[in-house]
Chains A and B, each alone.
Chain A
């Protein structure tokens, strides 16, 4: 079955450490997205990519970085510059004006 796989499900970051969240899709979707969700809040866009080797900043890109070397993969790095990284991170993908579909998410906490 096609879908979006995020890993790990839970991640802990130490002070000053960079961590990378994985997102893989086998839906043959062109566009991929990273969102951040804080408790009781909506989704905020971090980065998005419409095609391979191209990506754009969303509303809250500071302290994050991404790459899109393959159509299927869109990893997100939470850098040490992100001072408040504790949140639920969601990866999504879609094609054209079709609805977005989500992975199961990664919960990131600070040690």
Chain B
């Protein structure tokens, strides 16, 4: 089984809808991250969490919110989706400052 899983893997939604992307990990890492990737660009950090009670905004947090329900679970919400949030979303985990390991990604299309 994969160490970092994301659900759903693909999602199509309409403008204005609320959606949630979920991430789970079995690596036992304390830190979790959400990134988005747009064509021609590298990954950009949306939010990160160093433990259950620690949530921090990343480079591009506007329009997003997160919840760290447990050490192993970190979800990303789009309260009111808009077309320019169409992207590939990645969850990642790390133990402290060590290497980040990524989930398989969620492809989101906002119509």
Q: Indicate, yes or no, whether A interacts with B.
A: no
Residues of B within 8 A of A (CB): none
